[in-house]
Homo-oligomer: A and B are copies of this chain.
Amino acid sequence: MPRGPVIALSGGVGGAKLALGLSHLDLHQNLLVVANVGDDFEHLGLTICPDLDTVTYTLAGLSDQSKGWGRADEGWRFMAALQQLGGESWFNLGDGDLALHVLRTGALAAGENLTAVTRAVSRHLGITARVLPMSDDPVRTMIQTTDGALAFQHYFVRDRCEPVVTGFVFDGIAAARPQPGFMAALADPDLRAIIITPSNPFVSIDPILSLPGVRDAVRAAPAPVIAVSPIVAGRAIKGPAAKMMAELGMPSTALAVAQHYGDLLDGFVLDHGDQDQADAVAALGVRPMVTKTVMESLEDRVGLARDVLALAQELGA
């Protein structure tokens, strides 16, 4: 297997868990975690990047394991004071977490790009993997619902994913340039694997794949493309993926996720609970691998990362 880069496309929690597993495999700078920025939003004058930050906090060992977002040992005095002052309080921002948002907003206003800010943050937190925003240009996911279009965080946090989803629009996507290091790695002849982590296909992964040139570059890349199903036994481990699939008229199954990614895939990783779908995945021309995909412990994360890389090695041989 070539000693080149491994690319992991990631949303928030599920992607960050697998990225953490991968970061334990001595890939160092050869691990590129490319995070969705479609969830990013401007709130209270701050630029907030939930997926990027979940990846960052997770890789830095600072994440709150039970909540799945934000920092562990967090305080909430800011939110209490904000409410007291009549500010918008539907989106929780922890006291420690705020430092990242304030620093980033200031740096962006001073003309730095998101890549540079993210790199500086990673360096200060001792992260050896390369965490990259999918783009330095703003892309904002709009959720089309039967109640009208909603900005992602309004749908996701404020309205608790309650509206019925009919589709997705990635505002700004046509003008957004994919992050250059990401594109360079996709074209690297030593590329080892492109891993689509178990994040939401529609709102975490599709924005990355929809950037101009990315889908073609993924297809043309010399390395196998492997997705890990975010759906296990008909349910999403976290978040609204299964609910969205039902509302979009798709079965809420791992197989449907494989079908969604279609001919982009070389391999697909299903949980033991979905073993019965492996043949149908194979019938798509995609190599199935059945293993434990539910990541409860650090061991689970590292184990799944190892399994995925082993499948990549097999497919790349």
Residues of A within 8 A of B (CB): 44-46, 71, 74-75, 77-82, 84-87, 94-100, 102-103, 105-106, 109, 120-121, 124-125
CA distance A97 to B82 in the complex (A): 9
Tell me whether chain A's interface is mostly helix, strand or loop, or mixed: helix
Check B78–A44 contact: CB distance below 8 A. no
Check B74–A124 contact: CB distance below 8 A. no
Q: A80-B96, A86-B120, A87-B99 are in contact. Are A106 and B75 (CB under 8 A)?
A: no
CA distance A21 to B45 in the complex (A): 36
Tell me which residues across on chain B come within 8 A of A82, comparing CB atoms: 99, 102-103
CA distance A23 to B75 in the complex (A): 33
A95 in complex: contacting residue of B77, B100, B103, B125, CB < 8 Å: B77
Check A71–B81 contact: CB distance below 8 A. yes
CA distance A77 to B100 in the complex (A): 12
Q: A78-B99, A99-B78 are in contact. Are A85 and B124 (CB under 8 A)?
A: yes
Tell me which residues across on chain B come within 8 A of A71, comparing CB atoms: 81
Ranked nearest first, the 9 interchain pairs of A and B with the lowest CB-CB distance are A45-B106, A81-B99, A95-B95, A77-B95, A81-B96, A77-B96, A82-B99, A75-B77, A86-B124
